[in-house]
Structure 1
Amino acid sequence: MAAPHATTLPGRTGALVLADADVPAALALCAVDPVASVLATSRLEHAAVGGLRRAGGELWGYAEDGVLVAVCWVGANLVPVVGAVDADVTARALAAFADLGRARGRRCSSIVGPADAVLGLWSRLRGAWPVEREVRAHQPSMVLAGDPLVAPDPRVRRSRPEEYDVVLPACIRMFTEEVGYSPASGPGGPYEIRVRRLLEEGRSFVLVDREGSWRRPRVVFKAEVPAVAGGVAQVQGVWVDPERRGERLSEGGMAAVVQATRAEIAPVVSLYVNGYNTRAVRAYEAVGFREVGTYATVLF
């Protein structure tokens, strides 16, 4: 656990809805395991600059004897981070967060993060919140902090803002295939805004095919880097057009994403993948990623 002085909340104990002044203590707790906590840390770093409200969420904490031992970022996703190594403390923290969750109701579309915390929290919330659509209990968390082991595909590059109309359909196809429903809600919708923002921030990567049988440019490989914090960049939304699968586009594409990300965004590149997707796991291993933990996701 982080040094006690870094995570101290004097005179406070139990489950708490934290305030802007508590964000540094939460960040110190997340810094214990930057890879496991990158989703929460990326939001908290925004909160440290502009406040929790502007960061788009709420922050829960659990303290014992004035020391913060666990937090939950509560926004579009609920992301628990438990710094305690003691099983009894962990159990008390998750029970306290479940009590908060029951009292405040579900606002998130998923619970995601380190598997023990996600599954432990959901086991205590199940029945109080609406029935889940799916639980993905085994999602290997993988990391690459060196050069990729395969040659980067030179055709993979950052998306350009003016390519929004080319990139958005691929993003929608990926999300629909992965989650089971379309995220599209029309111009100005939250998903569309997210895609546009990633293009503008240089965190969207694509391979655009201009020579296929289709009449217009088409994305055949894509990946995004939406979560960056604590020296870690988490890749999400990796997708290959179904018509081009089997061509090993993912290996060269991910190598290119890793190379650019490590050079210009963060030195450590991470991702998490559904354990049943053995083809993707093998592709990431071929690029050089190694498993360092397990994530889980509860989808509503």
Structure 2
Amino acid sequence: MLSFFQRNTEDVLIRPLTIDDWDELETMIATDPIKNLYASEHLERFGLPTPSTLSGQRQNYGFMGIFIPVYENAPIVHHGVELAYGNFETERKNTNTRKPYLPNSERMSQTVKKVTEKLFDKITLKPRRPIPLQNEILEPHEKYSQEHSATFFTMVGAFWLGSNCVPIVIPKEYRKHASTMITRSIKYISSIIGDAEDVLGLWELLQPKAATPLSVSENQPLLYLDPQKSLETFTTQKIQPQQKNLDVPAIKENAVRWARTSDRHSLLKASVAMFIEEVGYDPMTRDSAGYIQRVEEYIRTGRTLVATNDDGVVIFKADLGLAYSDLCQIQGVWLHPAYRGVGLSAPLLAQAIELIRPRFPHISLYVNSHNQRAYRLYQSLGMEQHGTFATVTF
């Protein structure tokens, strides 16, 4: 396979990540586990392939890494953090285990130390250069290239490439390379989603060659709820008295529960209604079988919460769209239009959060900035902005 390519050690490399890159990818994800929850869940679910399995791969798919050459006597830059060489001993540890959530300052200090140790270890042990793989993108790297030969390549960025494209870290100077890889590798993607700076930077480069998107959401605040935040004010709030002006079937005080198979027909209707309101088209017109399967899978795996009225109709729902370790991201929050405007959203969502917390104490979600009603609801529950997402939907 390598005979098809002429490569040298002075190029920037983008290639599929393999199991040999596991530690570097985990370290990159750990710089912000809330923002990178999609990557964490997909790494746990799909893992990374062995290098030998990629020889028969016809297109790039999965986790992609961006590598740059490191030259003798050149400073090493990793994830935007400049690291100095040091004389310290490194201790190898098995890092293929779940890592507990750490506060930002503690997590960042451990991350920087770990990356420094890894890079210093690489210099002393002279690790092998990543093997060029099919459809990779290589571009000249001018600095130090004429005076020095590359010692090895180090990973400075990564993204997920599949039916969705999700940046993890894409340094600005390598977005062009990433966009070229995406254009060459995937004929169709349903969305580009993630950190707003990376997504919008990629979209600017992809737009001339991409299909016309259904929507471009440029400002989606990523909100996070501290595990110590008390929701007692909302969970003890009476629901029934607020329904006195509603000519609809009543709902119980502690109405929210995990969805059951008996809810699937009503839940499907609620999910479709939520999708149409949020995205702007009916998902049943594109892939009805796939959407039905997703709703039923969420029920089966305990990732959907609902509240029903006395007639058994789902009037509230919320999904665990992403979940890994002790973190999750809530998606698909919806309240039946007939029950809106009387203060039911906050207590119902608070009940849902209290059911989620024993499994996933660190809860996040993102919302379109123009949806001020939802944004104020989440703020009232104590959620604070952690970052900003953007989504391009096709």
TM-score over 0.5 for the pair: yes
Q: In structure 2, what is the equivalent of residue 284 of structure 1?
A: 378
Q: Is the 8 A contact 2:321 2:329 kept in 1?
A: yes
Which one-letter code corresponds to 2:45 in the other structure? H
Match of 1:4 in 2: none
**How far 1:250 moved relative to its partner?**
1.9
Query: Which residue does 1:227 correspond to in 2?
Result: 322
Identical aligned residues as a percent: 31
Task: Please say if residues 16 and 62 of structure 2, whose CA atoms lie closer than 8 Å, have aligned partners that are also in contact.
Answer: yes
RMSD across aligned positions (CA):
2.5
Distance apart, 1:248 and its partner CA: 2.2
The alignment covers a number of residue pairs equal to 276
Structure 1 position 174 matched with structure 2 position 274: yes
**1:20 Cα offset (Å):** 4.4
Aligned: 1:297 with 2:384:
no
Aligned residue number for residue 224 of structure 2: 143
| 1:185 Cα offset (Å) | 6.0
* Cα distance in 1, alignment partners of residues 297 and 23 from structure 2: 26
195-204 or 248-257, larger mean C-alpha shift: 248-257
Residue 255, structure 1, aligned to residue 255, structure 2: no
Q: Does structure 1 conserve the Cα–Cα contact (< 8 Å) formed by 2:263 and 2:314?
A: no
Q: What one-letter code is carried by the residue in structure 1 that aligns with 2:226?
A: A
- 1:39 maps to which residue? 38
CA distance in 1, matches of 2:205, 2:259: 42
Aligned partner of 1:58: which letter?
G
- Asked if the contact 1:136–1:296 (Cα under 8 Å) also holds between the matched residues in 2, the reply is yes
CA distance in 2, matches of 1:76, 1:93: 22
Task: Give the 5 Å matches for 1:189-268.
Answer: 189-211=289-311, 217-264=312-359, 266-268=360-362
| Most deviating of 225-234 and 118-127 | 225-234
For 1:227, the aligned partner's letter is L
Secondary structure at the residue paired with 1:228? strand
Query: CA, structure 1 residues 160+137, in 2 after alignment: closer, same or farther (shift >3 Å)?
Result: same
Secondary structure of residue in 2 paired with 1:210: coil
Q: 1:125 to 1:263 in 2, by over 3 A?
A: same
Kept after mapping to 2: 8 A contact 1:35/1:270? yes
Partners of 2:230 and 2:319 in 1: CA distance: 17
In the other structure, the counterpart of 1:94 is: 175
- Cα pair 1:23 1:47 within 8 Å, conserved: no
Question: In structure 1, the residue corresponding to 2:197 is in which secondary structure?
Answer: helix
* Letter aligned with residue 37 of structure 2: V
- The CA distance in 1 between the partners of 2:358 and 2:349, in whole Å, is 14
Distance in structure 1 (CA, Å) of the matches to 2:275 and 2:326:
27
Q: Would you say the 8 A contact 2:218–2:391 is kept in 1? A: yes
Work out the CA distance in 2 between the residues paired with 1:12 and 1:112.
28
Question: Could you tell me which residue of structure 1 aligns to residue 264 of structure 2?
Answer: 164
**CA pair 31-231 structure 1, distance change in 2 beyond 3 A:** farther
1:9-60 superposed Cα distances (whole Å, 9 cap, x missing partner): x99942212234434432321111011111122111112289999xxx5221
Q: How far 1:184 sits from its partner (Å)?
A: 1.9
- Where 2:284 maps in the other structure, the secondary structure is coil
- Tell me which moved more, 111-120 or 61-70: 61-70
Once the two structures are overlaid, the 10-residue window that deviates more, 90-99 or 272-281, is: 90-99
Name the SS for the 1:111 alignment partner. strand
Cα gap change, 1:12 to 1:232, in 2 (>3 Å): farther
In the alignment, the residues of structure 2 paired with residue 93 and residue 229 of structure 1 have an alpha-carbon distance, to the nearest angstrom, of: 29
Task: Name the CA distance, whole Å, in 2 between partners of 1:50 and 1:225.
Answer: 27
Q: Distance in 1 between matches of 2:155 and 2:351?
A: 39
Check conservation: 1:115, 1:296, Cα contact below 8 A. Answer: yes
Structure-2 separation of matches of 1:76 and 1:151: 38
The answer to which of 269-278 and 157-166 deviates more is: 157-166
AA at the equivalent of 2:204: S
Query: Structure 1, residues 99-152: CA drift from partner, whole Å, max 9, x if none?
Result: 101212343211011101110111111111112221100000000022343423
Structure 1 position 293, deviation (Å)? 0.7
Structure 2 letter corresponding to 1:198: Y
Q: Give the AA of the match of 1:97.
A: A
The amino acid across from 2:185 in the alignment is: R
CA contact (8 A) 1:148 1:258 kept: no
Look at both structures and tell me which one has the larger radius of gyration over its CA atoms.
2
In structure 1, runs of 5+ residues without a counterpart are 1-9, 84-89, 212-216
TM-score (norm. length: structure 1): 0.84
CA distance in 1, matches of 2:340, 2:66: 45
Q: Which residue of 2 aligns with 1:77?
A: 164
Structure 2 CA distance for aligned equivalents of residues 242 and 276 of structure 1: 19
For the residue of structure 1 that corresponds to 2:388, the secondary structure is strand
Change (3 A) 1:240 1:122: same
Letter in 1 for 2:157: A
Amino acid at match of 1:241: H
CA contact (8 A) 1:77 1:109 kept: yes
Please name the residue that 2:214 is paired with: 133
2 CA distance for matches of 1:38 and 1:99?
Answer: 25
